[in-house]
């Protein structure tokens, strides 16, 4: 009788961290470009995302936060949220997710502009930590 021995060799190299994906209720997957490429800034008011639809088609999208929205957030937060705050990328991501869920399609020209705050955005403005 032959004995077949298998030796398990653990992977010696550390596995690269997988980026967090935001999944909408209708199956769109959103990944922040800055999580895939460290040379892309996480701060500011323009953010890029890789979006995959339920059929597997991927598209890079840009979300821009309008100057009026930035001014309103600054006014309501008493200038507590700097342009480097993670609030802005979270705001862009949430508006993109809502658009994809509501329209079940990509925005025209692969771009979305956040021109108005929701009540949830305003609530987050009050609760967002001052840290980046």
Q: Is the pTM of this model over 0.85?
A: no
Q: Characterise 15 by phi-psi region: left (phi > 0), alpha (psi -120 to 50), beta (else).
A: beta
- Contact at 8 Å (CB) between 112 and 96? yes
Reading the block at residue 35, the tokens are: 């999580």
The string of pLDDT tens digits covering residues 54-74 is 999 999 999 999 999 999 999
Please choose, from the candidates 61, 66, 57, 70, the residue with its C-alpha nearest in 3D space to the C-alpha of residue 32: 61
The string of pLDDT tens digits covering residues 91-121 is 999 999 999 999 999 999 999 999 999 999 9
């Amino acid at each position: 009788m032959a004995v077949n021995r298998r030796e398990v060799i653990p992977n010696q190299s550390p596995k690269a961290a997988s980026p967090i994906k935001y999944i909408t209720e209708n199956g769109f997957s959103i990944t922040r470009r800055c999580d895939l490429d460290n040379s892309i800034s996480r701060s500011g008011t323009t953010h890029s995302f890789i979006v995959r639809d339920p059929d597997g088609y991927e598209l890079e999208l840009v979300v821009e936060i309008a100057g009026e929205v930035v001014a309103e957030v600054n006014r309501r937060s008493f200038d507590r949220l700097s342009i480097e705050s993670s609030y802005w990328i979270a705001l862009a991501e949430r508006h993109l997710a809502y658009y994809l869920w509501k329209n079940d399609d990509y925005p025209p020209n692969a771009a979305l502009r956040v021109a108005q705050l929701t009540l949830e955005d305003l609530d987050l403005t009050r609760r967002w930590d001052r840290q980046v």
